[in-house]
């Protein structure tokens, strides 16, 4: 019995400690910082967030502008939208983007990339290996 426990202990010690938990902790998306000026909305930490998401700014901007039904541009590290949109709305649309285009629907990890195969788009997960069909942005 002692021998069994020792083996069990040893096996456990060889598994990276909380491998999954660590992956989850790494994925902390900062809250969006938004400033409205006149009839334009400045998403100030746009660059920082797309780095965390590991997505192209162009793709995220296209999705956001489409959802907000307006035009958007990137100025430096800031995304700028025509129209006045509250912070809560930008946050909500970003979360929808993360659910649809960042999180793996199988294991819910964010370790994914978007791959194009012929004319279809997939979310390829490097955590569990799942390949999920997604709508093009
Ligand atoms: Zn997965």
Task: Please write the tens of the pLDDT for every residue from 34-81.
Answer: 999 999 999 999 999 999 999 999 999 999 999 999 999 999 999 999
- Dist CA 86 CA 90 (whole Å): 7
pLDDT at 31 over 90: yes
Cα(112) to ligand 1 centroid in Å equals 8
19 within a domain of the structure (yes/no): no
Q: Distance between CA atoms of 107 and 51, rounded to whole angstroms?
A: 22
Q: Do 41 and 67 belong together in one domain?
A: yes
- Domain enclosing residue 117, as ranges: 105-137
Q: At residue 107, what are phi and psi to the nearest 5 degrees?
A: -110, -5
H or E element that contains 93: helix 87-101
Q: Do 128 and 68 share a structural domain?
A: no
Judgement on whether residues 91 and 116 belong to the same structural domain of the protein: no
CA of 137 to the centre of ligand 1 (A): 20
Distance 102 CA to ligand 1 centre (A): 10
Instruction: Tell me the C-alpha to C-alpha distance, in Å, between residue 28 and each of 52, 111, 130.
Output: 8, 12, 22
Cβ neighbours around 12 below 10 Å, total: 9
Q: Identify whether residues 70 and 122 lie together within a single domain.
A: no
Distance 4 CA to ligand 1 centre (A): 33
Pick from 92, 73, 95: which is nearest to 82 by CA? 73
Give the Å distance between the CA of 83 and the centre of ligand 1.
36
* Total domains, the chain: 2
Tell whether 78 and 95 lie within a shared domain: yes
pLDDT at 47: 97
The answer to the question of residue 127 being in a domain is yes
| Separation of CA 47 and ligand 1 centre (Å) | 25
Looking at the structure, do residues 71 and 43 belong to the same domain, yes or no?
yes
């Amino acid at each position: 019995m002692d021998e069994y426990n020792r083996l069990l202990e040893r096996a456990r010690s060889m598994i990276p400690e909380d491998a999954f938990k660590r992956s989850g902790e790494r994925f902390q998306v900062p809250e969006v910082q938004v400033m409205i000026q006149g009839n334009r909305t400045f998403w100030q930490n746009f660059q920082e967030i797309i780095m965390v998401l590991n997505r192209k700014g162009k793709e995220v901007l296209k999705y956001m502008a489409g959802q907000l039904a307006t035009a958007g541009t990137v100025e430096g590290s800031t995304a700028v939208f025509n129209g006045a949109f509250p912070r809560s709305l930008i946050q909500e649309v970003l979360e929808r983007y993360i659910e649809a285009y960042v999180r793996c629907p199988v294991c819910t990890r964010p370790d994914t990339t978007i791959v194009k195969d012929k004319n279809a788009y997939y979310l390829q997960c490097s955590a569990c290996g799942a390949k999920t069909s997604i709508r093009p942005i």
